[in-house]
Amino acid sequence: MEQKKISVIHAPFGLGSSRSGTELGPESMRVAGLLRQIKALGYDVTGEFTVETPGAGAASTSKMKHEAAVRGMSSRVADLVTDAARGGGFPLVLGGDQSVSIGAFAGLTRHYANLGAICFTAYGGLLTEASSPTGDANGMPLAIALGKAGFRLSDVAEGAKLLSKDKLVLISVRHLEPEERDIIRSEGIAFFSMYDIDKHGIEKVIAQAMDIAGDGTDGVHLSISADSLDPLEAPGVGFPIPGGLSYREAHFACELLAETGRITSMDVAEVNPSQDDNRRTARLAVGLVMSALGKRII
């Protein structure tokens, strides 16, 4: 049996957030045993890369804070993601704040003709330079991927394409700005709040999510923001919101997604060790990666 290939891309970037600490997330996950567990699961780690993240530089002339730094980081991530995907591997991007998803989407849409995406996050990620109250890039990755923002995926990676609104699924969102609600409603973006999870159960939500993101697509990207989890389970995030996914709901969701065999790439972001309790959040994030990669008791 051919060994499965994976490329681990560390992106210790925190300038997309107004609260420091997420830049330490990739290292925290490494110390929590991520690489060792991936290898023990039988994966061939064909590459482990650390993106040299640019500094803040001069003040941004855009309404996106640190735009030049975001662009530089995203371009580096995109190139590594594209190389991994073209080589037949599974790109795993470890952030940093959620702006690392910009680079992941740029690299993936350059490779896949029709990409689907399932995103676990407490926040919509659909803010633009005009609608963001802070100008932080970690609130904008999905707006950028859908072509709703001034900042474009094609600014990051030549040949990058837009993510289809019909192949995007949001799960566990608990806070939206009015403009994000407008985008979700007007574009018909699939949206499963905690109300939907409580009412229907995580198994049904995941089945519906895969029906949407996997319908006619040649790749499905899984994006997990640590703030999608309940802060009682994952205290180490920048801006926690009560009432998120439980430990078992999150693991079961990842296990179900692994069973489909359709997940082709992944990013994990917003682990903030400076807010964590004895690396609990980092260890949980590592566990979710392993569940998504197919780890089982037997």
Q: pTM for this one?
A: 0.96
- Note the pLDDT tens digit of each residue in 68-97: 999 999 999 999 999 999 999 999 999 999
Q: Report whether pLDDT(58) > 60.
A: no
Q: How far apart are CA 31 and CA 118, in angstroms?
A: 27
- Note the pLDDT tens digit of each residue in 183-192: 999 999 999 9
CA gyration radius for the chain? 17
Q: In 3D, which of 151, 194, 189, 190 has the Cα closest to residue 175?
A: 194
Per the prediction, the chain carries an average pLDDT of: 95
**pLDDT in the model for residue 59:** 58
**pLDDT in the model for residue 50:** 93
Query: What percentage of the chain carries pLDDT values higher than 70?
Result: 96
